[in-house]
Amino acid sequence: METKLLKEREDLFDHFVAAHPRGDVLQTTKWGKLKASSGWDYFPLAALENGQVQAAALILTKSLPGGGKVGYSPRGPLYSSAEGLEALLASGSELLQEQKALVWKMDPAVPDGDPLWSEYVRQRGLRFVDTGPDFGGVQPRHVMTLDLSRSPDTLLKNMKSKTRYNIRYAQRKGVQVQRVKESKLLNVFYCLLQETALRDGFTIRPIEYYETMWEQLMENSLAQLFLAYHEGVPLAGAICFRLPHRTWYVYGASSNERRNLQASHLLQWEMIRWAKGLGCRVYDFRGVSGDLNEENPLYGLYRFKEGFGAKLESYVGEYDLPIRQGGYILWRGGLAVHNLIRTMRTRRGSK
């Protein structure tokens, strides 16, 4: 087993990611190039046997304010054998030592309780990062997924009656969903995103980030923008990521206008139909809270996604592989203080 950085063979790296059952757009070199536009470096590392990739990890690195770097593999590593995973993690640790990183963070799309991952966590000393049941992690631990093996009629039949009604209501009222092919319409989506962020109280990236996303992902058939209109007025928009086996609903936005027309429901249905038409086996609605108590403020998000027939799927979660032990401990301590201060400010601001 040998390990290599496939900077000169990114096609080989990306082919493994696309073909892997747990492959994710966030592990492709195109995602690495997108992140490079906001200050990250990327390293497509692979473990090979007889020229065939057995394991791979896109490792992103970024400098920390206090010195050192953080390494991160979003939805990685990917592996087809225990030997491949072992070689990959050993080589990745060496690479990050050379990069003066303090830690290698990872959150693979491995089902919770997977025995191979659990054994390797024990052997390699990976540290589980408890991000809580909601959205404390970089990537969601709990996601809602829809099996696309059924016919469109059966998919509709399996939805909650209210969801099915909302889809048909939007159709009757003349809402139209467009699969966007021109980058200039990113401005329409971004305006909807700004409106959503103001309404729901979250921050968004500058539009240049989405323009780079268009260049790296949409122009390479790894993402697609959809917009929903009524009488020429944009009411909702969404960006999906996709690989041959799976489509992810990643970014969504909606207008404050004509919300009664249920444009977001029809938008989801058209994206589901599009994903099925591409041959994808799964439509991934992405994150929900792992706390399904109806009193949880995030329960409405679960109920919306469940309405389409999606089922809860949980992953192993977020793990740290310390690279420089002393620096890692100091960094974790500083991070805990930072998060505490942010929580206190949020609480004061809500009073």
Rg of the chain over all Cα atoms, to the nearest angstrom: 21
pLDDT for the residue numbered 85:
94
Q: Are residues 177 and 261 in the same domain?
A: yes
pLDDT for the residue numbered 349:
36
| Contact call for residues 30 and 44 (beta carbons, < 8 A) | no
pLDDT for the residue numbered 336:
55
Q: Quick count: other Cβ atoms within 10 Å of Cβ 242?
A: 23
Domain count, the chain: 2
Q: Are residues 150 and 8 in the same domain?
A: no
* 165: its two tokens: 């009604």
Contacts of 151 (CB under 8 A, 6+ apart): none
* 104: its two tokens: 């290698």
Q: Are residues 239 and 193 in the same domain?
A: yes
Q: Are residues 216 and 97 in the same domain?
A: no
> Is the pTM here over 0.85, yes or no?
yes
pLDDT for the residue numbered 325:
77
Q: Are residues 183 and 240 in the same domain?
A: yes
pLDDT for the residue numbered 350:
33
Q: Are residues 188 and 262 in the same domain?
A: yes
* 87: its two tokens: 């070689």
* 135: its two tokens: 């959205």
Which residue range(s) make up the domain with 108?
A: 2-138+315-350
Three-class DSSP category at 262? coil
- The C-alpha atoms of residue 290 and residue 132 are separated, in whole angstroms, by 8
Whose tokens are 């990113």? That residue is: 186
Q: Is the dihedral of CA 110, 115, 116, 118 positive or negative?
A: positive
Identify the CATH number of the domain in which residue 84 sits: 3.40.630.30
Q: Is the dihedral of CA 79, 81, 84, 86 positive or negative?
A: positive
Stretch (H or E) spanning 237: strand 233-243
State the virtual CA torsion across 286, 79, 275, 164 in degrees, nearest 10.
-40
Q: Are residues 170 and 153 in the same domain?
A: yes
Low-confidence ranges of the chain (pLDDT < 50): 337-351
pLDDT for the residue numbered 334:
65
Q: Are residues 50 and 115 in the same domain?
A: yes
pLDDT in tens, 276-316: 999 999 999 999 998 988 989 899 999 999 999 999 999 99
- The C-alpha atoms of residue 325 and residue 1 are separated, in whole angstroms, by 28
pLDDT for the residue numbered 124:
84
